[in-house]
Amino acid sequence: MAPTSLSVIIPSYGRPAQVEQLLADLAAQSLPAERFEVIVVDDGSPEPLAPRLEPARWPFALSVLRQHNAGASAARQAGIARATGSVVLFLDDDMRAGPSLLFEHLLAHERAPRAAVQGRISSPPDLAARPPFERYHQQRLEAWFAQLALGHVKLRGANLCSGNLSVRRSALLEVGGFDPSLARSEDAELGLRLERAGVELRYADGAAASHCSGPESSSQWLAGALRYGSTELAVSRKHPWAAHADPFRYLFALGAPRGALLAACALSPRSTAQLPRALVAAGDVLDAAHLRGAAVQLAGLAYATQVYRGLGEALGSPRAVAGACQRFLARVSRDPRSVDHVPRALSAAARAAEDFHEDVAARQRGEAKYALPHAPRAAPALVENIGLQIVLGIRAMHFFTDAGAPLGARIVSRLMRHLYCCDVHWGAQIAPGFVIAHGMGVAIGDGVKIGPGCIITHNVSLGAGKDAQSGARGVPVLEEDVHLSPGTVILGPITLGAGTKVLPGAVVTASVPPRSIVEMPPPLIHLRSPPLAPAALLAAAAH
């Protein structure tokens, strides 16, 4: 290994005594001092840290950087820029490190060449004497790490904690490091980018450190929870692919009664402003009565209600809250394994509604002749437009399929056949933003894939067939924005490239490159034979 294979980065603000204690722990590590360096980033502390820390006191290489107060994320970024080790370990300035902490982190990285390693965060010795809200957080962490150690849960990017987290420096540079714009949840946001980039996420139970900061007030704790609500929303918006990081997941994970309470806090943050404080006060009363478990439970509920109040304030209105929840449910339907406890039918309904809304919007964005004569959400558009009714039937089929009720999808398919002479198989994969114009006589077979923005007119057939050269059997794939004119037939395992338009009457059995026009040869036109005169008709009859 290189002489400095590990860089330990400690952002700090106004905690010189705690940083000295942590440095003393690092001086007593089982890993030789020449194998690591320590970088303390002073984030604009009122009293500069450098004079007190005295780099010459320590057996390892110590650098003390000072910056204007910009937050922990910016401090960590400054440390990353200065680091020379191939692995970077982040520790909070109020932590105490176990003697094998650094060795265990390096050992985990030796086994995984491209990884992020989460170490265990253990309880401080005086946890039992702390107020319920502090015990709540630590007990949650302990339970989570115990589940990780047993392999009962999977470590995901949104679960990473920046205290006691090590990452390959190359991976940090690849994804861009921490986002300095986030005051909270910056570690979860980094974790999501690492996960998305394919960095292996590992847990090292032997790499233990504990948080030992002094207790904060309940008011400070609740203020932080309120900020978490808005930053959790910001993180979710940055990563729309990650349903498991969406704050609305807790509405369902915590059960119906608590979920309903959290929803009320998000929908009306102003009217529920006193609820978190009341819960904290009630927890203190229970704690004084030695009902410690119940006190911790109330503290957890106080934290959750405050987070959801912050979420509601960030969204700004009940309608925005409902829309954000619907988008979360639709994402869960697209990736059902990402989040547990969400009713399948509910997420399927949210996805069907979202897809149909996009279908309606596609008509307004697309060619003017297919636009709806009414506002996109007006009921008359659905009553009068046959193509839109067929698309609604398609979304209903998808709903029943996603909800685990395939019989319902088959019934809708058969109803569409009788109502519109439109035979769409329930196994067709049709992306949102789909337009059917007129719609009568459309046939779409099982397994056909249709991309967003496609337009299909009447008497169009998309079905199974054989490739003329290979003999392979399959169904067509339409990439985005393909337009099929009346009477077209698309057969076999072929792909119609994005932006292609197929003109009326064409029969397509071979793949078509993007932005093509497919047309049939013009019809042959010639004059009919001239009509015979009456005399000639009589002569012809006589013969």
Sequence ranges of the chain with CATH classification 3.90.550.10: 1-214
Sequence ranges of the chain with CATH classification 2.160.10.10: 370-522
Count of other CB atoms within 10 angstroms of residue 257: 8
In three-state secondary structure terms, 108 is helix
Beta carbons within 8 Å of 507's beta carbon, 6+ residues apart = 488, 489, 491, 520
370-522 belongs to CATH 2.160.10.10: yes
* pLDDT reported for residue 72: 92
Beta carbons within 8 Å of 11's beta carbon, 6+ residues apart = 41, 43, 72, 75, 76, 79, 90, 92, 93
Instruction: Return the CATH fold of 1-214.
Output: Spore Coat Polysaccharide Biosynthesis Protein SpsA; Chain A (3.90.550)
Counting as low any pLDDT under 70, the low residues of the chain are: 1-4, 214-215, 366-380, 531-543
* pLDDT reported for residue 533: 65
In three-state secondary structure terms, 511 is coil
* pLDDT reported for residue 377: 53
- Residue with token string 């106080």: 302
Output the pTM of the full model: 0.84
Between helix 318-334 and helix 256-267 the angle, nearest 10°, is 130
In three-state secondary structure terms, 31 is coil
In three-state secondary structure terms, 411 is helix
Cα separation, 298 vs 251, whole angstroms = 17
Cα separation, 266 vs 278, whole angstroms = 17
> What is the 3 state secondary structure string of 169-213?
HHHHHHHCCCCCCCCCCHHHHHHHHHHHCCCEEEEEEEEEEEECC
